[in-house]
Amino acid sequence: MNPHDGLRLEQVSKSFAANDAVRDLSIDAKPGEIIAVTGPSGAGKTTTCRLIAGLETPNSGIITVAAREVTRLPPQMRSVSIMFESFALYPMMTVADNIAFAMRAPTRDDRADEAEIARRLKDVLALTEMSELGGRLPHELSGGQKQRVALCRALALDPMVYLLDEPIAHLDAKLRHKLRAALRRRLVASATPTLWSTPDSMEALSVADRVAVLIEGRLQQFDHPVTIYKRPANTRVARLVGDPAMNLLRGGLVRENGALLFRNQAISLTLPEEARVRIDTGKSMSEVVLGIRAADIEIASNSGDDARSVEVNSYEPFGKYAIVGAKLGADTIKAKFFHVPPVDVDDVLSIRLHAANAVVFDGATGNAI
């Protein structure tokens, strides 16, 4: 990889006592690029932000910002703008002063004059729909409003990197949708790289140019959103991404009449041509895991060979679609039906699995084959 002017982490590790918070992490964000870091609690998302901001020092590895190594520089010399998940507002200062405070900080080399501060303040308050609240004190705000103040404070600066740690987690669905759009438009128009951390994998897919999936401090996959969704690198990523997550079925691969089939006690499914060509079954493939998206399961209207009867054991009617859980052999599968069927728990349903987008994982390692 060539050096670029954005953000780069190379083989960064940080442990607290005996626990690896982050291990051998290599990711980068180009100028104007948004990368999302997603994963469950304990993944290392916040530690990653703190390492880049200089609030923690890595045990090993290199961090560069705008082609300059900052690994061991103090926070104020990094030109990094961080939004804390905990907000960290000054309780005695108004919203406007909280936001302006960092812009006035004497140690910043990108300090703005008062006219510029006023302009940026107005701009970020409008962006987050907070224009009326500049004079309020933090204790007069709701949790969602406090979060937006913290977001404004980070965005008002003109840094070399934006670090947004769960920037919209506490807002309602409608405002989250609006802010994803507003923030993305603004951030990609700037020449600044952004790292956006979120436990919500769907938020990561929708807002980022590339997504880094972290689990227990280790990078599982770093790729474009469509690739993360369609080709998860391993079963850990597959379990994390999607609404609902991918179904994972245990079984084996067999070759029959030139076709490649996935088979277990409950089903036998012909895999697409692409998989047949790519997968070398010279090796033993008695243990694999097949990943199938819930939306790739449909209700079978006719009773072909490939239709399967299953007993419904959960039914979740989300208005425009229903998520139906059913037992398929030893596995419980979830199907997402966009035309909501009038079914209920314990009903028997005829379904068909579509293998066109299926992903095959190694049964032992969990890695995609």
Whose Cβ is closer to another protein: residue 90's or residue 318's? 318
Packing angle, helices 95-104 and 143-156, rounded to 10:
30
Run of H or E including 153: helix 143-156
Residues that bind another protein (CB under 8 A): 40-41, 142-143, 172-174, 177, 180-181, 184-185, 199-202, 205-207, 225-226, 229, 239-245, 293, 295, 313-314, 316-320, 323, 325, 336, 338, 340, 345
Least spacing, CB of residue 332 vs another protein, in Å? 9
Nearest to 165 by CA among 39, 27, 16: 39
Least spacing, CB of residue 111 vs another protein, in Å? 33
Least spacing, CB of residue 40 vs another protein, in Å? 4
Whose Cβ is closer to another protein: residue 314's or residue 365's? 314
Is the distance from CB of 197 to CB of 49 less than 8 angstroms?
yes
Whose Cβ is closer to another protein: residue 12's or residue 127's? 127
Letter for the amino acid at 33? E
Q: How many CB atoms lie under 10 A from the CB of residue 300?
A: 16
φ and ψ of 196, to 5 deg: -120, 115
Whose Cβ is closer to another protein: residue 41's or residue 257's? 41
Whose Cβ is closer to another protein: residue 73's or residue 340's? 340
Least spacing, CB of residue 355 vs another protein, in Å? 17
Least spacing, CB of residue 80 vs another protein, in Å? 27
Token pair of 208 as six digits: 């980022």
Nearest to 254 by CA among 245, 267, 236, 235: 267
Run of H or E including 228: helix 225-230
